[in-house]
Amino acid sequence: MPCTRLPRSVPCRPTHATTLLRNHRPASGHYIAQLRERASDTAASSSFNLQGSARLQSLPLHIDPSMAASLRWTVAVAAVACVLALQGAVAQLSPTFYDSSCPKLQSIVRSAMAAAVQQEPRMGASILRLFFHDCFVQGCDASVLLDDSPTLTGEKNAGPNANSLRGYEVIDSIKSQVEAACPGTVSCADILALAARDGVNLLSGPTWAVPLGRRDTRTASQSAANSNLPSPSSSAATLVSAFASKGLDSRDLVALSGAHTIGAARCATFRSRVYNDTNINAGFAAKRRQICGAQPGGTDGNLAPLDAMSSVKFDNGYFRNLVAQFGLLHSDQELFGGGAVDSVTAGYARNGAAFARDFVTAMVKMGNISPLTGASGEIRANCRKPN
């Protein structure tokens, strides 16, 4: 069967369209026709419902043998100490952190996420985005979950988050179930990391062991939320440097952006793309303009799927869209816009397994951004406020 007629998980023979993807040229034919069809299906409704070690033998000859042996030993001990110190620096978190203190944690999170995603598939996407917006601001410390209060300005009303981030109630509900099972033990930051993983997996994406042991911050930063979270109008160079500032390379950037294979965006975030960009499929842009007026106003909140083909399925469709110039956000299309990261995007468009593998690696890296551990921070009783 041709690839375009089958679910992407089924082995298939390349068609004209998939061959074009291999050649990194804008696709045409069947795939475009399918994209157009889907684009119009979803655009029809403005209330879119997203149901070694070192070589120690070669010491200089003028050293006496006993001294050489002692030196070798010292160097070996120092090398082991270095490795341990390095591991401590990057991997203070561990997937087994709560195994004895809260053995039911993973099953509580999984069943709560299963219920939430069954009720509304888009919730898997919304929770994944919450995790990203947490980790990019002060690190993965649950700062994003704090409500504004007379003594604290949270991040929820920052530009990239206001009227946009969702899923807080799902995290509250998981937290109260976890508190009932293991009071005062599990951080909101870890619950969010697990819930994001499960949301991806429940929408047919990969699963992985989540390193745990994060603690919750007592502070938040609205200004950091405004400055650290990338804008949908960003260029590829700006995206690369925003991710580099968090220790993530350009491959991580592309893989993590593949999160846009699920979920939706508001017209306000893609208006400029569908009215002004030239590297966009013309039919696709026209369909999106139908639900997104040219001027800011009444249509700002109208939703469109980030992946026109399968926005409730975690697959590599997002990258196939980009190669065909069906990216919804300007920042999405920048990942296949004639620059250095195009080859990574084209690779993921061809190879869904490579995308899944790199996405997992990059999620673990992102989850390692500046966690609070040990005696830092706290285990919040209520994810919305410091204790």
Per the annotation, where are the binding residues for Ca(2+)?
134, 137, 139, 141, 143, 155, 261, 307, 315
Residue 122 engages ligand HEM in binding (rule: CB under 6 A): yes
Q: Which residues contact 218 (CB under 8 A, 6 or more apart)?
A: 377, 378, 386, 387
Residue nearest to ligand HEM (CB): 263
Token representation of residue 95: 């997937």
What tokens were used for 220?
């938040």
- Footprint (CB under 6 A) of ligand HEM, residues 329-368: 329, 331
Task: By CB under 6 A, tell whether 269 contacts ligand HEM.
Answer: yes
Question: Does 105 engage in binding with ligand HEM (CB under 6 A)?
Answer: no
CB of 220 to ligand HEM, least distance (A): 20
- Chain positions 145 to 164 lying near ligand HEM, rule: CB under 6 A, are 164
Nearest to 199 by CA among 142, 265, 256, 131: 131
Closer of 328 and 372 to ligand HEM (Cβ):
328
Burial class (CB in 10 A: 0-12, 13-18, 19+), 276: exposed
Closest approach of ligand HEM to the CB of residue 46, in Å: 14
Stretch that binds ligand HEM, among 54-62, 64-72, 263-271, 337-345 (CB under 6 A): 263-271
Compare residues 4 and 368 and give the one whose CB is closer to ligand HEM: 368
- Nearer of residues 17 and 229 to ligand HEM, judged by Cβ: 229
Residues labelled catalytic: 133
Contact 331, 231 (CB under 8 A): yes
User: Would you state the structure tokens that stand for residue 199, as one six-digit string?
Assistant: 């949301």
Nearer to ligand HEM, 159 or 183 (CB): 159
Binding-site positions for heme b: 260
Nearest-CA neighbor of 132 among 90, 195, 222, 177?
Answer: 195
- Answer for which of 265, 323, 341, 349 binds ligand HEM (CB under 6 A) is 265
Return d(Cα 186, Cα 32) in angstroms, integer: 47
Q: Residues with Cβ < 8 Å from 312, sequence gap 6 or more?
A: 50, 51, 121, 122, 124, 203, 262
CA distances from 122 to 38, 87, 199, 269, 293 (A): 17, 36, 9, 18, 24
R_g of the chain computed on alpha carbons: 23
Note whether 320 binds ligand HEM by CB under 6 A. no
Among 31, 97, 132, 314, binds ligand HEM (CB under 6 A): 132
Query: Of 27-35, 125-133, 142-150, 213-221, which segment contacts ligand HEM by CB under 6 A?
Result: 125-133
Least gap, CB of 166 to ligand HEM (angstroms): 5
319 and 255 in contact (C-beta within 8 Å)?
no
Q: What string of DSSP letters covers 238-267?
A: HHHHHHHTTT--HHHHHHHHGGGGBSEEEH
Q: Which stretch binds ligand HEM (CB under 6 A): 34-42, 121-129, 137-145, 282-290?
A: 121-129
Query: Does the footprint of ligand HEM cover residue 266 (CB under 6 A)?
Result: yes
Nearby residues of 102 by Cβ (< 8 Å), 6 or more positions away: 178, 181, 182, 185, 186
Q: From 86-94, 100-108, 179-187, 251-259, give the range in contact with ligand HEM by CB under 6 A.
A: 251-259
Q: Under rule CB under 6 A, how many of the chain's residues touch ligand HEM?
A: 26
Binding mask 15-34 for ligand HEM (x = CB under 6 A): --------------------
Of 118-126, 141-149, 210-218, 373-381: span binding ligand HEM (CB under 6 A) = 118-126
Residue 264 binds ligand HEM (CB under 6 A): yes
Residues between 215 and 244 with contacts to ligand HEM, criterion CB under 6 A: 230-232, 234, 239
Shortest Å distance, C-beta 23 to ligand HEM: 26
Q: What is the DSSP string of 141-185?
A: SSGGGPPPBTTB--STTSTTTTTT---HHHHHHHHHHHHHHSTTT
Is 378 in a helix, a strand, or coil? strand
Chain position carrying tokens 């700002």: 300
Whole-number Å distance between alpha carbons of 38 and 32: 10
Sites of contact with ligand HEM (CB under 6 A) = 122, 125-126, 128-129, 132, 164, 166, 230-232, 234, 239, 256-257, 259-260, 262-266, 269, 306, 329, 331
